[in-house]
A and B are shown apart, each in its own frame.
Chain A
Amino acid sequence: MSVPIVQNKDERSAFDEVFLPHLPEAYRLAQWLTGNASDAEDIVQEAALRAYRGIKTFGAVNARAWSLTIVRNTAFSWLTKNRPKTVVFMNDLSATEQQELEREGPHGTRIETPEETALFKADAEEVQKAMAQLPAQFREVIVLREINQMNYRDIAEITNVPIGTVMSRLSRGRQLLIALLGDRK
């Protein structure tokens, strides 16, 4: 039967065209979501396999967002399996709890951003630590925005939440970072 072989070849070239160009970015995203280089490599490999198998579902709209969505979802299922404590899924929470987390941050206290923290010296280690302390859903929007430099619409697509939620998570996430960094001073 020659049909499946041809099909396989087509899917492969589709994969090469759609997913491969975004590999470095995919790796960077996975590395930020897991905080670890070898886990990131596993996730990117797994995501590549998923992308290849699901290449038919690519709608020829936005290859970058499509690819990073798969990486993001692979990373989250990996985190849920391997580090369940670090991932609080919004959907697992009640509406009130969700709202509290969105509005007040993870520890139930209103975020007080210290007014005197004016400018940050780029002390990479501290910033990195603060990023690692962020709850996953705040960290991912900040990484997608600042590291991958995606716009709100693409971030909403990748994280599968409305744009309004992307906006509030970005704002809260940044306030959390400022508070975390301010504490160290």
Chain B
Amino acid sequence: MVASLRDNDELQLNAYCDGELDPVSASEFERRLASDQPLKARYDRLLSLRQAVRSLPQLDMPAGLQARIQSRLDAERPGNVTVLRQRSWSFQALAAAAVLGAVVSSAVMMTIERYGQREEVASEVVAGHIRGLLAPQPFDIASSDRHTVKPWFTARLPESPRVPDLTAQGFALLGGRVDVIGRDPVATIVYKHAAHTVSVTTLRPGQSVPEQAIAGYNVRSWSDAHFTYIAVSDLPSADLATFERAFSAEAPVPEIK
């Protein structure tokens, strides 16, 4: 029993060092850390181990490696892949493969185009967040009352999202602003968590972007039937995940106008 408690501590300690605890568990853990000397000693030891590992000298990539890879790929002629696996193909099979190849290739292109567009969407959303932070305030309408923010959006935008109140979950509503993504004005809801600002930009559904960091801001997106939400913040990605859960739990059905 004692051993398993200690194991659990060890896991929590590691997760805390790695910034993987949710905000609530992290602050609980910090309270324990402040009063538990042996735990604090283990924490310091882990940090100094991390420091030692991270300061190990790293070999740089050999200068010519990328060029060698490029020329090796140049030597890969189309069809090589299939030739490797298939020794005796009939002409019929080859023709079928050519058709399939064309189909697959256009699928790849579409995927990549979509990927490119989405990258752009993500960086525009982050740009909106940064602009908000640089402005005297990160919102156009300041209100901690969701019943003020929602009508403000409705008056300006064709589609406006629900504005959930997440104060109980640790994210206080600051207000809202209109960002322009591509050519479309869209609603962005702004929350505050401790000293961190979280912007949630709402787009038409189907535009979710991969989880990523842009210019030092974490980006996380999710969708429901009516919107794709892109959250941007300098919060650690684990905290942003907590935010997503809180937001989704509070905004299950968009209002019908």
Contact = CB atoms under 8 A, between A and B. Distances in A.
A181 B10 CA distance: 18
A178 to B, nearest CB: 6
Interface stretch (B103-111, B155-163, B242-250): B103-111
B231 to A, nearest CB: 16
Interface in A92-126: 103, 115, 117-124
Given A122-B51, A174-B46, A49 B73 contact: yes
B81 interface: yes
B53 A27 contact: no
A83 interface: no
Given A27-B59, A145-B18, A174-B46, 15 more contacts: A3-B101, A8-B76, A27-B65, A28-B58, A48-B72, A49-B73, A55-B108, A103-B7, A119-B44, A127-B56, A146-B50, A147-B53, A147-B54, A171-B14, A178-B49
Contacts of B87: none
Contacts of B48: 118-120
Contacts of B68: 45
Interface in A25-61: 27-28, 31, 37, 40-41, 44-45, 48-49, 52-53, 55-56, 58, 60-61
Q: Of residues B14, B50, B211, which shows the largest number of chain A Cβ atoms within 10 Å of its Cβ?
A: B14
A95 B101 CA distance: 44
A151 interface: yes
Contact of B54 (A17, A146, A168): A146
Interface of A: 1, 3-8, 10-15, 17, 20, 23-24, 27-28, 31, 37, 40-41, 44-45, 48-49, 52-53, 55-56, 58, 60-63, 103, 115, 117-124, 127-128, 131, 142, 145-147, 151-152, 167-168, 170-171, 174-175, 177-178, 181
B64 to A, nearest CB: 10
A63 B212 CA distance: 10
A85 to B, nearest CB: 24
